[in-house]
């Protein structure tokens, strides 16, 4: 890893809490919830902090949504999606687990992917004293977190560890082997993509591995239903479109929802449309985890 890459990645990692503010205008549900409880979940790469959002105590095992934040595998800051976790908890009644997985430059692939899977599998096994319902687990994430959620589904299928009821992928990064258009404009630049690959995916051969690039997996059959959210002007839009097409070819139910005329921060550019999108996700989570 080049020294300048490492220093740049360290700066992004350290300053995320002050630089990321993209969801602040969407705090309209769950603002009265208490601060999330922080627990630790075991993984192959050490225990991981998990921020747990709940809308009150439950006596029966609760459905759970496992969320993976974005940040290009460079920003370790789960609180960037606090607004989203609060919204889902308040509107669905589910327990939401926001995972504080490790990121570059302090780890490289596949550490984050494995940690995210292991936390989700731990939750599906009950999550210790959280008393979660392993039959009613969903996963999701934004951007790199969307790629992690898709990776978790593949890992869970291959290992037979658990089966999510739904995967919610917001503007997901699903192909780390392919190049962006050379003169791509917008929020996701070719320069950022190159940095991510050099720092978190330094081994070129791993970039096409299915857990790194889920859209390149040979077999997508047996995966949970998917709700994929894209932005019309987002350079990653094609990742989501290709994934939905391949899921459908494999017989997996997949819904594609594109927000018109927005870039990568698809929920903040059009707040009115965002409310409809967020409600759609909440409804999908409730439907996916309803008791028979």
Cβ(91)–Cβ(119) under 8 Å?
no
Q: Is 165 left (phi over 0), alpha (psi -120 to 50) or beta?
A: alpha
- 234 belongs to the catalytic site: yes
Helix-helix angle 190-199:3-19, to 10 degrees? 110
Catalytic residue among 13, 143, 213, 239: 143
Residue 143: active-site member: yes
Of 175, 234, 239, 263, which residue is the catalytic one?
A: 234
CA distance 61 to 8: 43
Determine contact, residues 274/225, Cβ cutoff 8 Å.
no
| Nearest Cα residue to 161 out of 224, 100, 214 | 224
65, 69, 209, 264: the catalytic one is 264
Query: Does 117 qualify as catalytic in the annotation?
Result: no
Q: Which residues are catalytic?
A: 143, 234, 264
């Amino acid at each position: 890893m080049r020294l300048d890459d490492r220093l740049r990645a360290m700066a992004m990692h350290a300053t995320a809490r002050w630089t990321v503010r993209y969801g602040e205008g969407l705090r309209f549900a769950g603002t009265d919830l208490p601060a999330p409880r922080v627990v630790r979940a075991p993984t192959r790469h050490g225990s991981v902090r998990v921020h747990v959002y709940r809308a009150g105590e439950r006596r029966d095992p609760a459905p759970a949504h496992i969320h993976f934040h974005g940040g290009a595998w460079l920003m370790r800051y789960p609180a960037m999606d606090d607004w989203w976790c609060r919204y889902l908890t308040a509107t669905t009644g589910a327990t939401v687990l926001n995972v504080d997985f490790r990121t570059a430059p302090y780890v490289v692939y596949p550490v984050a992917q494995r940690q995210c899977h292991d936390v989700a599998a731990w939750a599906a096994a009950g999550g210790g004293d959280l008393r979660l319902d392993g039959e009613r687990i969903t996963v999701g994430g934004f951007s790199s977190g969307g790629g992690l959620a898709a990776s978790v589904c593949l890992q869970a299928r291959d290992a037979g560890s658990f089966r999510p009821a739904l995967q919610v992928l917001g503007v997901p990064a699903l192909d780390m082997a392919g190049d962006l258009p050379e003169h791509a404009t917008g929020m996701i630049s070719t320069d950022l993509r190159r940095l991510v690959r050099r720092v978190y995916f330094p081994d070129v051969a791993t970039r096409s591995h299915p857990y790194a690039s889920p859209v390149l997996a040979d077999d997508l059959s047996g995966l949970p239903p998917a709700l994929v959210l894209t932005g019309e002007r987002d350079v990653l839009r094609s990742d989501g479109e290709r994934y939905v097409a391949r899921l459908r070819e494999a017989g997996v139910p997949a819904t594609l929802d594109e927000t018109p005329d927005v870039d990568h921060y698809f929920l903040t550019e059009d707040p009115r449309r965002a409310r409809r999108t967020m409600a759609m996700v909440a409804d999908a989570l409730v439907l996916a985890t309803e008791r028979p």
